[in-house]
Chain A
Amino acid sequence: MSLLIVDEITKEYDGVRALDRISLEVEKGTIKGLMGPNGAGKSTLFHLISGMEKPDSGKIYFKGKEITSLEPNEISALGVGRTFQTVQTLGNMTVVENIMTGMHLRLKGGLISSGLWLPWIERMEKEALKEAKEILDRLGLLGRWKSPASQLPLGKQKLLEIGRAFAMKPELILLDEPASGLTPTEVEQLSERICQLKKDGITLVVVEHHMGMVMEIADEVVVLDHGKLIAEGPPDVVRGDSKVVEAYMKGSPR
């Protein structure tokens, strides 16, 4: 049974079809690459899946349940994490607190019990801190755990964001152009981390322009162009597809 099903999704902005009857399925435990020239609708699709926007028509299913009309935080609660194209680091907090924020749904505590810092809150927070530090360790960020998150270089901030999504212990993570702005070494480290996530049993959908990285990590690739799905299949097959080559050659319509 597919973890994520996108069924005939259409989204228009001021008469321009950003997405035109897009359908795709993501099997549990796989990595799906989502590619296409700029303006093809990839980020829009992510916004729709994560609930930030609503489609004009079509449905989205996660774990068999329809999530089309749910609020973003409700969708996250079901087990969907995401990162953003422009990295949304929580700059007013420290590195470790960014991770701990990711654990929000897994922690308990109301206003009064937190304010009074009841003993069980203390225990829970200690555990959370420990786990957060472990996550940072796996990402190679443990050394800076106390620093303000805004002080990290871009590559590390992107890793931090992935760590934050991971801290939710989600079943699906949507990565929106994780490699943009990274050096080749950083891209390699990133690819390694993403494969590690897959080993941990997390399903991933990755929007990415970096051909090399997608070839390495994706089990299957979907290519969009002008809101339409033009190719689907294993990476090496899709790469050679003439429609795909043409789409990238043409460039975006503007």
Chain B
Amino acid sequence: MQTKKEFRKRDFFYLLPLWLLSLIVPDADDLYSYRSKEFKRRELYYLGAVLLLPLIWSDPHFHHLMVLAGIYAILALGLSLFLGYAGQISLGHAAFFGIGAYTTAILTTHYAFPTFLAFWASATTAATAAFLIGKPILKLKGYFLALATLGFAEIFLVIVRETQTLTGGVIGIFGIPWFSIAGFSFDTYLKQYYLTWGVLLGLFLFSKNLVRSKLGRASLAVAASEDAAKSVGIDVAQIKIKVFVMSAAFAGFAGSLFACIMSTANPEAFSLGFSTLIVMMVILGGMGNLYGPIFGSILLTYLMDILGRYQEWSLPIYGVILILLLIFFPDGIGTRVGIRLIYLIGYWAKKKKRDEGKL
């Protein structure tokens, strides 16, 4: 048995960084705190970091990446409600993202809508599409659900590519204006950063409320045991549709922001590869809590950026990394890395002590 006396200075080297890490990394086992009103101090640190970091570090490339990360985080957050909390599968969320982007693109360029209105319209169109497609599709489970969502996404792409007049076909739409509210235009990366992360914050709080509400519990119940859910009166099909529609609305918001920031919309951005990427963000970030998708999207956005420098090696490396991460971190990186490390180091330290004791 290790007593306090035996903690030598050496142990601090292992334990201090781990303790620091555990301060910042979310812990999925702490279920209750993620679904209660209690805000931990750690969360204030997060908020502070989000608000202040771009001001401290003013590299425009960093800002650009964080803007993208923010948009993907919105997308991933919505998807995590469907994937992690309701326990379903969707490989087609890129389509809802695309619907959002194209809605904003078309409304602002062809019909001179203000971006603020287009923003809400995008979420509504995406949500409506999800409602229509959800009713039949959500009866399926597992592989078939994955395949059906994939099929829907492909059809969306085919339609977009072929309807030249409305969507600009393969080339896409150009000249989408900057997002603006009451005359204030978000035209620099810094401004866009606060825009996207502001939207993310709002949706995050909304999600946090949802998750600890009756709907959140019903959703988790459906994931845990559909039979049990039915036995307490939960309409399983309806819950799945509601969460699906909600996640699509988030994707719509994200798509709208994406269009305004990239100023263009074209079909290449919304492929199966992108759907896969978002799902990876949710998985790798950890599906047990709402910080997971945010963490995952920051991680993968950076990964994509780093890989991008390797040109044609980027995709093979990406494929390998993806597989390795899935094998070693199926629960997500953020939620387990701290705990695993602690176990590993603890085991190693104990082993050393045992060996030394024997000598």
Q: Tell me if B184 counts as interface (CB < 8 A to partner A).
A: no
Query: A148 touching B230 by the CB < 8 A rule?
Result: no
Chain A 95-110 residues near chain B, CB threshold 8 A: 96-97, 100-102, 104-105, 107-110
Interface string of B195-221 (1 = CB under 8 A from A): 000000000001101101111111011
Measured between beta carbons, the chain B residues less than 8 angstroms from A161 are 228
Measured between beta carbons, the chain A residues less than 8 angstroms from B31 are 92-94, 148
Which of A88, A91, A102 is in CB contact (< 8 Å) with B227?
Answer: A88
Query: B218 touching A104 by the CB < 8 A rule?
Result: yes
Query: B233 touching A73 by the CB < 8 A rule?
Result: yes
Taking A109-B215, A168-B233 as contacts, is the C-beta distance between A90 and B228 under 8 angstroms? yes
Which of A72, A101, A108 is in CB contact (< 8 Å) with B218?
Answer: A101
Q: Tell me if B165 counts as interface (CB < 8 A to partner A).
A: no
Alpha-carbon distance A110/B221, docked complex (angstroms): 17
Measured between beta carbons, the chain A residues less than 8 angstroms from B216 are 114
Chain A 137-183 residues near chain B, CB threshold 8 A: 146, 148, 161, 164-165, 167-168
Chain A 186-216 residues near chain B, CB threshold 8 A: none
Q: Tell me if A77 counts as interface (CB < 8 A to partner B).
A: yes
Measured between beta carbons, the chain A residues less than 8 angstroms from B220 are 90, 92-93, 97, 101
Which of these binds chain B: A19-27, A29-37, A115-123, A228-236? Answer: A115-123
Interface string of A33-73 (1 = CB under 8 A from B): 00000000000000000111000000000000000000111
Q: Tell me if B341 counts as interface (CB < 8 A to partner A).
A: no
Report the nearest B residue to A72, measured CB to CB.
Answer: B230
Most A CB within 10 A of own CB, among B29, B35, B207, B213: B213
Measured between beta carbons, the chain A residues less than 8 angstroms from B223 are 92
Interface CB pairs A-B, < 8 A, 15: A81-B232, A84-B228, A88-B227, A90-B224, A94-B35, A97-B35, A101-B221, A104-B217, A114-B210, A114-B214, A115-B213, A116-B209, A125-B212, A148-B29, A165-B232
Report the nearest A residue to B223, measured CB to CB.
Answer: A92
Q: Tell me if A111 counts as interface (CB < 8 A to partner B).
A: yes
Which of these binds chain A: B91-99, B234-242, B262-270? Answer: B234-242
Report the nearest A residue to B230, measured CB to CB.
Answer: A72
Query: B224 touching A52 by the CB < 8 A rule?
Result: no
Q: Tell me if A82 counts as interface (CB < 8 A to partner B).
A: yes
Measured between beta carbons, the chain A residues less than 8 angstroms from B228 are 84, 88-90, 161, 164
Query: A105 touching B232 by the CB < 8 A rule?
Result: yes
Query: A104 touching B224 by the CB < 8 A rule?
Result: no
B161 shortest CB reach to chain A, Å: 34
Most B CB within 10 A of own CB, among A93, A94, A102: A93
Range, interface on chain A: 35 or more
Alpha-carbon distance A72/B222, docked complex (angstroms): 14
Query: A109 touching B214 by the CB < 8 A rule?
Result: yes
Q: Tell me if B231 counts as interface (CB < 8 A to partner A).
A: yes
Taking A88-B225, A92-B224 as contacts, is the C-beta distance between A104 and B213 under 8 angstroms? no
Measured between beta carbons, the chain A residues less than 8 angstroms from B277 are none
Q: Tell me if A10 counts as interface (CB < 8 A to partner B).
A: no
Q: Tell me if B246 counts as interface (CB < 8 A to partner A).
A: yes
Query: B230 touching A97 by the CB < 8 A rule?
Result: no
Q: Tell me if B32 counts as interface (CB < 8 A to partner A).
A: yes
Alpha-carbon distance A101/B221, docked complex (angstroms): 7
Measured between beta carbons, the chain A residues less than 8 angstroms from B207 are 115
Measured between beta carbons, the chain A residues less than 8 angstroms from B224 are 88-93
Alpha-carbon distance A88/B221, docked complex (angstroms): 10
Query: B209 touching A94 by the CB < 8 A rule?
Result: no
Taking A111-B242, A117-B209 as contacts, is the C-beta distance between A73 and B236 under 8 angstroms? yes
Alpha-carbon distance A76/B207, docked complex (angstroms): 28
Taking A92-B224, A94-B31 as contacts, is the C-beta distance between A102 and B213 under 8 angstroms? no
Most A CB within 10 A of own CB, among B35, B206, B218: B206
Which of B215, B217, B234, B246 is in CB contact (< 8 Å) with A93?
Answer: B217
Chain B 23-55 residues near chain A, CB threshold 8 A: 29, 31-32, 35
Most A CB within 10 A of own CB, among B207, B212, B224, B242: B224
A156 shortest CB reach to chain B, Å: 16
B308 shortest CB reach to chain A, Å: 36
The 7 closest A-B pairs by CB, nearest first: A114-B213, A72-B230, A88-B228, A76-B233, A88-B225, A105-B233, A90-B224
Query: A115 touching B210 by the CB < 8 A rule?
Result: yes
